[in-house]
Amino acid sequence: MAGLAVRPEVKRDANPEEILQLLKLHIENSFEYLRGREKCAVLFSGGVDSALAALMTSRMCEDTLLITARCEGSHDEQVAAKAAEALSLDITEVRIDSELLWNVLPQVVDSIKTRRRMDIEISIPFFFAAREAQQRGYPLIVSGQGPDELFAGYARYEKLMIAEGTEKVEEALWEDVSITDRVNILRDTRIIQFHGLEAFFPFLDQDFVKVALTIPATLNIAPNKTPARKLIFRELAMRLGVPRKVADTPKRATQYSSGTSRMLAESLQEHVKTLGSLSKKELQPVIQDFLDRM
């Protein structure tokens, strides 16, 4: 996984072409793990991370299925199918509604071993995707987790760069990557293993991570561009075959792009009498309290 004992030194005079070649080499080596596998599923949102994961998986695995679990009207509903079509890959979409969410909520909480609201919201679409993969006979799920922390994909990195400069961004990336196994990967692995499946995180290959952390923030973020973040990773994805219209697709955090943050609130209001009469503003502060008491 991503955990490194020593922080790699940022190379201020880095040659972008050399970096791209190294990243390409290491990510191709990482995906060799899948070579010859008969059936692989991919957690798919339509963003650049999952698109590259899907494309690379399809080159190694005989039967690759993209799975999108999302709520009606969500961002992922709008972009996932179009991205899969652009990649010429098969996709199945699992629609999450209030009743389905309510019914699996205790299993989600039990499997991830936490009641933290954000972790639950993120885990809900992964739960449904893993269940779909298991039911269809796919023993392994590929996750595109990692590039946001490695290549400054979140808006907060761009804000930090504008406010405090590039070195602060690079420090923040190192700190976030250092804890990603504990904060993100353990949670995602648990929700996937709950269904008896193997989880694979190709972008957390140590050699790939080491190179990514040597990249100066100026090659990852350009506040005056659109898109403004994760620039070198988007270029890597295009060089490996991801169409530009997919590589440049804007992406929100999982709980928002899938719609599960909104749907969790709606489901609790529908199924918990004491919450039913609250306004949206009144509901937000008490959701965590309810989850803590489940």
Residue 107 lies in a domain: yes
**pLDDT tens per residue across span 139-195:** 999 999 999 999 999 999 999 999 999 999 999 999 999 999 988 999 999 999 999
Q: Is residue 3 part of a domain?
A: no
Residues 6+ apart with CB under 8 A from 142: 34, 40, 41, 42, 43, 53, 54, 57, 200, 202
In a domain, 214, yes or no: yes
Residue 11 forms part of a structural domain: no
* SS3 per-residue string spanning 54-65: HHHHHHHCCEEE
Residues 6+ apart with CB under 8 A from 252: 75
Digit-by-digit pLDDT tens for the chain (294 residues) are 456 889 999 999 989 999 999 999 999 999 999 999 999 999 999 999 999 999 999 999 999 999 999 999 999 998 999 999 999 999 999 999 999 999 999 999 999 999 999 999 999 999 999 999 999 999 999 999 999 999 999 999 999 999 999 999 999 999 999 999 988 999 999 999 999 999 999 999 999 999 999 999 999 999 989 999 999 999 999 999 999 999 998 888 899 999 999 999 999 999 999 998 899 889 989 999 999 998
> Which domain, by its residues, includes 58?
16-293
Residue type, 263: M
Going by C-alpha positions, the residue among 96, 99, 148 that lies closest to residue 123 is 96
Token pair listed for 5: 């004992």
Q: What is the pLDDT of residue 2?
A: 55
4 in a domain, yes or no?
no
Q: Using an 8 Å Cβ cutoff, are 48 and 246 in contact?
A: yes
- When divided into structural domains, the chain yields a total of 1
Residue 254 lies in a domain: yes
What is residue 99's predicted lDDT score, i.e. its pLDDT? 97
Q: Cα–Cα distance between 193 and 176 in angstroms, integer?
A: 24
Residue 232 CA, chain-centre distance (Å), reads: 17
Residue 276 is predicted with a pLDDT of 87
| CATH number reported for the structural domain that contains residue 223 in this entry | 3.40.50.620
Instruction: State the alpha helices, DSSP H only, in 75-230.
Output: 75-87, 98-112, 117-135, 147-150, 155-164, 166-180, 186-193, 206-212
Residue 236 lies in a domain: yes
- For residues 145 and 201, is the Cβ–Cβ distance under 8 A? yes
Judge whether 215 lies within some domain.
Answer: yes
Question: How is residue 246 written in tokens?
Answer: 């997919």
